[in-house]
Amino acid sequence: MPVEHLLKAYALLERITPLPVDCGKFCSRACCKGDSQTGMELFPYEDMLLKGKKDFSILPAEDIEKYGLCVCEGFCRREERPLACRIFPFFPLVYTNKRTGRLEIRIIQDPRGRSLCPLVQQDISPQPIFERRLRRATRILLKDPVLREYILKTGSFLMDIEAFRRKLIKT
């Protein structure tokens, strides 16, 4: 069953955060605040796992390539958070190493967090244990073809955003 991969990834990331402290204290939990249309993009299958949770609402996907949006009400139980919340403002970039031909995972800052997250704004790296756990979780998620496609497409999209940003800075 596809959700088993998500549940394993959730378990790996349940008690670990990008920093050894609550980074929400630096920005007054900016990523937990939104309006009725602002939230975190869900990974495939998460809508099934999160339906009916009381601390946030799930908006249906408007785009065929998306899987819905989690809109937070400001505070939630960590064990019920979607994957994007658990890893924000980072994302696993999966690529093929041209020299070895092997699939590799690099944890990158999510450029979508640039406008609100001090970790991205100040170029702060996550703690090593978080990176290791996110890589392990990603390897599990990659076993499912739908999750794999989502991770690859999202990583490519994030790289396009970053390339565009760099072009804008140069001009």
pLDDT (0 to 100) of residue 65:
61
pLDDT (0 to 100) of residue 89:
94
Tokens, residue 151 = 């991770």
pLDDT (tens, 9 = 90+) of the chain, 171 residues, equals 779 999 999 999 998 999 988 888 878 787 777 676 778 899 999 988 888 888 788 888 776 568 888 888 777 777 888 999 999 999 999 998 899 999 999 999 999 888 888 888 899 899 999 999 999 999 999 999 999 999 999 999 999 998 888 888 886
- For residues 137 and 152, what is the distance between their CA atoms, to the nearest angstrom? 14
- For residues 10 and 162, what is the distance between their CA atoms, to the nearest angstrom? 27
Beta strands in the chain (DSSP E): 40-41, 56-59, 69-72, 90-96, 103-109
pLDDT (0 to 100) of residue 51:
82
Amino acid at 37: Q
- For residues 5 and 24, what is the distance between their CA atoms, to the nearest angstrom? 27
Q: What is the pTM of this model?
A: 0.89
- For residues 49 and 70, what is the distance between their CA atoms, to the nearest angstrom? 12
- For residues 151 and 105, what is the distance between their CA atoms, to the nearest angstrom? 11
Residue 58 bridge partners (DSSP): 70
pLDDT (0 to 100) of residue 135:
97
Which residue bears the tokens 């937070």? Answer: 72
Instruction: Give the dihedral sign, CA 101/90/43/1.
Output: positive
- For residues 134 and 130, what is the distance between their CA atoms, to the nearest angstrom? 6
